[in-house]
Amino acid sequence: MADRTISKKNAWVVAITGLMLAATALMSFTPLGTIVLPIAAITIAFLPAIITVMTAGLFPGLIVATFAGIFSLIRAFIVFTPLAPFLQNPLVSVMPRMLIVITAFLVFRALINTKLPKIVSIGISAAVGSITNTIGVLGMIWLLYGAPMLEVAQELGHVSVWAMIATVIVTNSLLEILGNTLIATAVVMALRKAKFSKF
């Protein structure tokens, strides 16, 4: 009986991982992965990775996150955006996506069995994952390209790179963090209520 329960749980983990991989691919290569607002465009393509890590575990979450990064890398070569040239580097497009699930999982495991309401623990974990994505992507862009970008900006007499990065954070990233946190929390809570979670 115990073996059958374990087998069922493993089958569910495989199923949810496959479903989230499909969702990630769909969001990465269609407009479904972006919520367009009047003042910002919120990317939600890495949401399935956050959901997976809080329902199926770290390893399935890493699988989904890695593919989210790979899809982001591929998309950077076929769809032009202001960040596309930077996302063509896997250190910018892939590595931060993998860090998302690691930080979200560590916070989730630390909080989920505390006296905090489950929705709060899940919300904080989702927020940490989303913040990790923002800091990871922008941080790697700065580390790898900040110096040459600053030189060009100074030569052209344009606004500083720091100001440009601050503008991105204020107008887009904060809304992205908020949006992803709310959506991930709602989905994970629904899956837990339906008993589709190993935690």
pLDDT, one tens digit per residue, over 67-84 is: 999 999 999 999 887 778
* DSSP states of 4-69: HHHHHHHHHHHHHHHHHHHHHHHHHHSGGGEEE-SS-EEE-TTHHHHHHHHHT-HHHHHHHHHHHH
**What does the longest C-alpha to C-alpha distance in the chain come to?**
71
Q: Mean of the pLDDT values across residues 37-56?
A: 86
Domain assignment present for 73: yes
75 is a domain residue:
yes
Look up the CATH number of the domain holding residue 29: 1.10.1760.20
Query: Does residue 11 lie in a domain region?
Result: yes
For 40-44, 143-147, 157-161, 166-170, which range has the lowest pLDDT when averaged over its residues?
157-161
Q: How confident is the model at residue 146 (pLDDT cuts 50, 70, 90)?
A: confident
Per the domain annotation, does 199 fall within a domain? no
pTM over the 0.75 mark: yes
Q: Is the pLDDT of residue 52 over 70?
A: yes
Residue 151 pLDDT > 90, yes or no?
Answer: no
The whole-angstrom separation of Cα 193 and Cα 62 is: 24
* Residue 198 placed within a domain: no
Specify the pLDDT at position 172. 74
Residue 2: the pLDDT is 47
In a domain, 108, yes or no: yes
pLDDT in tens, 13-39: 888 999 999 999 999 999 888 887 766
The verdict on residue 164 lying in a domain is: yes
d(CA 79, CA 169): 22
- The count of structural domains within the chain is 1
Amino acid at 129: G
Q: Is residue 38 part of a domain?
A: yes
Mean pLDDT of the chain: 85
Domain that residue 160 falls in: 2-193
Q: What is the pLDDT of residues 155-189, one digit of tens each?
A: 555 555 556 656 666 677 888 889 999 999 999 99
- Asked whether the predicted pLDDT for residue 106 surpasses 70, the reply is yes
Q: Return the CA Rg of the chain.
A: 18
- Residue 116 CB contacts under 8 Å (≥ 6 apart), including other chains: none
